[in-house]
């Protein structure tokens, strides 16, 4: 039973689909401002509720995801030379399954993307973070409606439902390749920072580090200088035993910091340790540390050369299922191009941390374009001042006053 949530949100989506650019911009700005203001408070609330991650990192990420996106996904796009006008059309209702690992930022990002593109959003919270997710979604909903968005444009429900677009924020298996040409110390610092950020809860956080053999030792040392702790064979065995007691990741370890995990696994590490680096022989599916681990634990393999490194990176994505992103550290554009060409991912970061990537959906995924095309030999009139969209002047829907009510300004 949907309880008519979906029916109501369809009414809202249909109304919003006709809004014009200035009103959409005002709605997005209002929601964005509300999101910004609550970034720190909701970050702390998320950590308190889930006991995962780092409040300061979450606050930073919340602020980044809350930033007002002023891209125009409303106005018709005119290509006079090709005589084509393209009208953006929202998909309708976006259902976002929001994980406990990255709750508030995921709400911010999805809801703002939906609002930018004139879609309605239904947020389905992970029960472990239901209250901070609900609070974030209702905050944005209220701000949007106060700025003129239709009633019910953002909804929260714990019931499973499907609609026009489904957004899941599942962790991806992200390989990071460091080749022989890379700036080793910079690469080590970025990898350690990214892996430690929010205790590795971001879906774009690196899973497996692949080092070209020639620089592997130097890289290990450099990561050690950045708070990484290289484990020996016995320590890897103990870590694996703790993290994956029955082959599955122990839930209590998700989003915990490196020192806490080391302690639980019976490893002695320095208190300032930020990342546990586990050397692996091979990237194979039965090796749990070769999969995405939402904790500051990084598998590491070496490859004899860049080509073999790229094949190892492909293996990381292959065994991990659909991936969001991959990272390469290299000064050789040929390697970068080969890496990007051979990895089935949407984004490749170069000489950057995985946490710098935008894991969230792109607004483009929430739109279709209706193309108005004129015949090649016919003139196309100017569409410069033409827009089919209209925004209402009052609340949507209007409150149902009696038609003979003098207040009815119709």
Nearest distance, CB of residue 28 and another protein, angstroms: 22
Selected binder of another protein within 134, 151, 232, 346 (CB under 8 A): 151
Q: Cα angle at 36 between 31 and 42, to 5 degrees?
A: 105
The answer to whether 1 contacts another protein (rule: CB under 8 A) is yes
Q: Which one-letter DSSP state was computed for residue 324?
A: S
Residue 271 or 406 having the CB closest to another protein: 406
Residue 12 or 219 having the CB closest to another protein: 12
Q: Locate tokens 């050690």: which residue?
A: 224
The answer to whether 380 contacts another protein (rule: CB under 8 A) is no
Stretch that binds another protein, among 5-13, 121-129, 212-220, 288-296 (CB under 8 A): 5-13
CA pair distance 232, 220, nearest whole angstrom? 12
Nearest distance, CB of residue 5 and another protein, angstroms: 5
Stretch that binds another protein, among 2-10, 87-95, 205-213, 346-354 (CB under 8 A): 2-10
Work out whether the CA dihedral 328, 332, 335, 336 comes out positive or negative: positive
Nearest distance, CB of residue 395 and another protein, angstroms: 9
CA pair distance 263, 271, nearest whole angstrom? 10
Stretch that binds another protein, among 20-28, 272-280, 294-302, 395-403 (CB under 8 A): 395-403
Site string for another protein, 21-40 (x = CB under 8 A): --------------------
Query: 62-91: which residues touch another protein (CB under 8 A)?
Result: none
Count other Cβ atoms within 10 Å, centred on residue 340.
15
The answer to whether 409 contacts another protein (rule: CB under 8 A) is no
Sheet containing strand 77-79, strands side by side:
77-79, 84-90, 367-373
The answer to whether 148 contacts another protein (rule: CB under 8 A) is no
Helical ranges in 97-250 per DSSP H: 103-116, 130-146, 184-196, 213-225, 233-243
The dihedral over CA atoms of 324, 199, 278, 194, expressed in degrees to the nearest 10, equals 60
Site string for another protein, 314-343 (x = CB under 8 A): ------------------------------
Selected binder of another protein within 10, 41, 69, 318 (CB under 8 A): 10
| CA max distance for the chain | 84
Selected binder of another protein within 89, 371, 390, 401 (CB under 8 A): 401
Residue 150 or 363 having the CB closest to another protein: 150
Percentages (nearest 5) of helix, strand, coil residues in the chain: 40, 20, 40
Task: Give 356's Cβ-side CA count (13 Å radius).
Answer: 13
237 three-state secondary structure: helix
The dihedral over CA atoms of 92, 97, 101, 104, expressed in degrees to the nearest 10, equals 40
The answer to whether 107 contacts another protein (rule: CB under 8 A) is no
The answer to whether 382 contacts another protein (rule: CB under 8 A) is no
Helical ranges in 17-88 per DSSP H: 21-37, 39-50, 55-66
User: Which phi and psi (to 5°) does residue 173 adopt?
Assistant: -95, 105
Selected binder of another protein within 247, 379, 381, 406 (CB under 8 A): 406
Site string for another protein, 228-247 (x = CB under 8 A): --------------------
Stretch that binds another protein, among 6-14, 38-46, 195-203, 211-219 (CB under 8 A): 6-14
Task: Give 275's Cβ-side CA count (13 Å radius).
Answer: 34
Selected binder of another protein within 241, 245, 321, 397 (CB under 8 A): 397
The answer to whether 152 contacts another protein (rule: CB under 8 A) is yes
Task: Give 374's Cβ-side CA count (13 Å radius).
Answer: 16
**Which of 334, 218, 331, 216 lies closest to 280 in space, CA to CA?**
216
Residue 151 or 338 having the CB closest to another protein: 151
Residue 333 or 397 having the CB closest to another protein: 397
Selected binder of another protein within 72, 217, 252, 405 (CB under 8 A): 405
Report how many residues bind another protein under the rule CB under 8 A: 25
Summarize as ranges the residues that interact with another protein (CB under 8 A): 1, 3-5, 7-8, 10-12, 14-15, 151-152, 396-406, 410
């Amino acid at each position: 039973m949907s309880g008519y949530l979906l029916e109501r949100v369809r009414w809202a989506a249909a109304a919003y689909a006709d809004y014009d650019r200035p009103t959409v911009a005002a709605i997005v700005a209002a929601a964005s401002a509300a999101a910004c203001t609550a970034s720190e408070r909701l970050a702390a609330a998320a950590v308190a509720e889930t006991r995962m991650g780092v409040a300061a990192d979450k606050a930073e990420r919340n602020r980044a995801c809350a930033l007002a996106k002023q891209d125009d996904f409303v106005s018709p796009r005119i290509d006079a030379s090709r005589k084509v006008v393209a009208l953006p059309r929202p998909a309708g209702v976006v259902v976002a399954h929001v994980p406990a690992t990255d709750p508030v930022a995921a709400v911010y990002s999805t809801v703002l993307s939906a609002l930018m593109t004139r879609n309605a959003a239904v947020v389905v919270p992970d029960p472990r973070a239901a209250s901070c997710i609900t609070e974030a979604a209702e905050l944005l909903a209220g701000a949007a409606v106060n700025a003129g968005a239709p009633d019910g444009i953002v909804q929260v429900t714990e019931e499973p439902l499907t609609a026009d677009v489904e957004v899941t924020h599942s962790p991806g298996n992200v390989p990071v390749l460091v080749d022989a040409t890379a700036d080793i110390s910079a690469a080590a610092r970025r990898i350690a920072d990214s892996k430690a950020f929010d205790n590795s809860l971001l879906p774009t956080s690196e899973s497996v580090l692949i080092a070209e053999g020639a620089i592997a030792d130097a890289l290990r040392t450099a990561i050690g200088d950045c708070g990484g702790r290289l484990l020996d064979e016995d320590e890897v065995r103990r870590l694996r035993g703790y993290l994956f007691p029955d082959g599955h990741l122990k839930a209590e370890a998700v989003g915990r910091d490196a020192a806490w995990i080391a302690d639980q696994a019976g490893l002695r590490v320095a208190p300032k340790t930020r990342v546990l680096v586990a050397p692996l022989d091979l990237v194979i599916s039965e090796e749990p540390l070769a999969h995405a681990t939402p904790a500051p634990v990084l598998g590491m393999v070496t490859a004899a050369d860049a080509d073999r490194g790229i094949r190892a990176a492909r293996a990381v994505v292959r065994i991990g299922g659909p991936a969001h992103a991959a990272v390469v550290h290299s000064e050789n554009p040929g390697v970068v191009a080969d890496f990007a060409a051979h990895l089935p991912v949407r984004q490749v970061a170069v000489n950057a941390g995985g946490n710098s990537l935008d894991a969230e959906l792109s607004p483009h995924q929430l739109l279709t374009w209706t193309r108005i095309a004129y015949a090649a030999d016919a003139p196309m009139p100017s569409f410069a001042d033409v827009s089919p969209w209209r925004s209402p002047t009052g609340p949507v829907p209007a409150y149902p006053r009696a038609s003979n009510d003098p207040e009815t300004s119709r």
